[in-house]
Amino acid sequence: MAKSSFLLCVLALTAFNQLGVTLSSPLPIPYKSTKVLWYPTESGGYVPALLEGGPPVIAADEDKIHFLLFTLQNQNAQREVFVGDKNGLINAGYNSGAPLYILTHGFSSSPTGGPTPKFKTELFRGNRNVNIISIDWSDLAAAPWYDRAAAATKLVGQKTAKLVNFLVAEGMVALKDIHFAGHSLGAHAGGYLGANLGAGKLGRLTGLDPALPLFGEKTDADRIDPTDAAFVDVIHTAAGTLLDGGLAFTEPRGHVDFYPNSGSHQPGCGIDAFGTCSHSRCYAYMGESINNPNAFLACKCNSWDEYNKGQCVCNQSTHLGFHVPTNLRGNFYLKTNGQSPYSQS
């Protein structure tokens, strides 16, 4: 079934190309009926994403999940580190006791995309003595098997939990000093990480536009939710279903949820029928906020409609992004510019 669906995709693409229809404007395919959707890539194109029939995720696939370390002294030459290898971590330049940022990508991506480049640039631009570990699970996240990538998020979270448990046990980091940020499917990997820790909770988990397909019907045990860390914040930028031009959750998934420009169809993204541009804006906003604590002023409100009509008293405001207070709760709305700098504050 899945194999025939993929062949149909290929035949359709061939026909579209002959008719002059390019992948930048694919025909809509309702994924719930055909089990396939067009998924936007970070380069602005699209790949077929099959929702069933992919290779099963097995225990041996854990070897396809890699941890890449960056530090202030080692910003551009990543060093792979391994669970249980304390000497290897030290030799790779890991700064024991320093804050740890764990970052990861989503479907059809890798550490060269997603939140890692922006976080790395902005954190080290401020000369912060921190550790950054980027999770590379690109082999398991590769197109066209979206269903396999979605299933693999559990394995990614479980293996990352082993690393975190080891680092904490060795006194190399405190749980409260760990901040995980995952984009799209990577946000749910963070949820599985939080659920598999030996004791205590991560200091912070940031969901960057958590993916909706195959997670919308799951329970909170299998998707990002507020129990996964001491503080969970979520940024929604391509919310909605494929048919709405969205890819991600609309419903709140954290202690604090931010909805810039309603949480979908970001300004400057043009038609963006399948959310290509909007889906990546979440980590662009987050990155811009790292060295600007006054960026992205947001207002607590009941809905975007009330906010957009100026009907919110806005007794409670805060700033989206890196510097959000961890005792904050609720849904916050704001507007952004259509190009960098995105913040209007």
Q: Note the pLDDT tens digit of each residue in 157-204.
A: 999 999 999 999 999 999 999 999 999 999 999 999 999 998 899 999
Sign of dihedral through CA atoms 94, 95, 100, 101? Answer: negative
Is pLDDT above 70 for 19? no
pTM, two decimal places: 0.89
Alpha helices per DSSP H over the chain? 2-18, 31-34, 86-91, 116-125, 138-141, 146-169, 185-195, 276-289, 304-308
For this structure, is 279 an active site residue? yes
pLDDT at 316: 84
Are the C-beta atoms of 223 and 215 separated by less than 8 Å? yes
Q: One of 279, 280, 289, 343 is an active-site residue; which one? A: 279
Are the C-beta atoms of 273 and 245 separated by less than 8 Å? yes
Task: DSSP for 284-330, please give it.
Answer: HHHHHHTT-TT-SEEEE-S-HHHHHTT-----SEEE-STT--TT--E
pLDDT at 150: 98
Domain range for residue 112? Answer: 2-334
Q: Which residue has the tokens 């067009």?
A: 38
Are the C-beta atoms of 342 and 291 separated by less than 8 Å? no
Q: One of 109, 184, 262, 280 is an active-site residue; which one? A: 184
For this structure, is 184 an active site residue? yes
DSSP 73: T
Q: Which residue has the tokens 């764990």?
A: 102
Is pLDDT above 70 for 26? no
- Residue 21 forms part of a structural domain: yes
Q: How confident is the model at residue 225 (pLDDT cuts 50, 70, 90)?
A: very high
pLDDT at 18: 32
pLDDT at 149: 98
Q: How confident is the model at residue 306 (pLDDT cuts 50, 70, 90)?
A: very high
- Residue 192 forms part of a structural domain: yes
Helix (H, G, I), strand (E, B) or coil at 62: helix
Residue 60: partners with Cβ closer than 8 Å, 6 or more residues away: none
d(CA 323, CA 321) in angstroms, rounded, equals: 6
Q: One of 209, 228, 233, 257 is an active-site residue; which one? A: 209
Question: Which CATH number covers residue 55?
Answer: 3.40.50.1820
d(CA 274, CA 49) in angstroms, rounded, equals: 13
User: Residue 78 is encoded by which pair of tokens?
Assistant: 């990543």
- pLDDT, tens digit, 9 for 90 and up, residues 227-283: 999 999 999 999 998 667 678 999 999 999 999 999 999 999 988 766 779 999 999
Is pLDDT above 50 for 12? no
Q: How confident is the model at residue 28 (pLDDT cuts 50, 70, 90)?
A: very low
Q: How confident is the model at residue 8 (pLDDT cuts 50, 70, 90)?
A: very low
Of 235, 266, 286, which is closest to residue 337 (Cα–Cα)?
266
- Residue 22 forms part of a structural domain: yes
Is pLDDT above 90 for 77? no
- Residue 57 forms part of a structural domain: yes
DSSP 57: P
Of 260, 229, 257, which is closest to residue 330 (Cα–Cα)?
257
Q: Amino acid identity of 311?
A: Q
- Mean pLDDT across the stretch 68-81? 95
Of 297, 291, 306, 307, which is closest to residue 337 (Cα–Cα)?
297
- Residue 186 forms part of a structural domain: yes
- Give the range among 36-45, 119-128, 144-153, 295-304 with minimum mean pLDDT: 36-45
Is pLDDT above 80 for 5? no
- Mean pLDDT across the stretch 17-22? 31
For this structure, is 303 an active site residue? no
Q: Amino acid identity of 154?
A: K
- Residue 217 forms part of a structural domain: yes
State percent of the chain over pLDDT 90: 78
- Residue 345 forms part of a structural domain: no
**Counted domains in the chain:** 1
pLDDT at 245: 65
d(CA 47, CA 288) in angstroms, rounded, equals: 28
DSSP 64: G
- Residue 284 forms part of a structural domain: yes
Of 218, 238, 332, which is closest to residue 284 (Cα–Cα)?
238
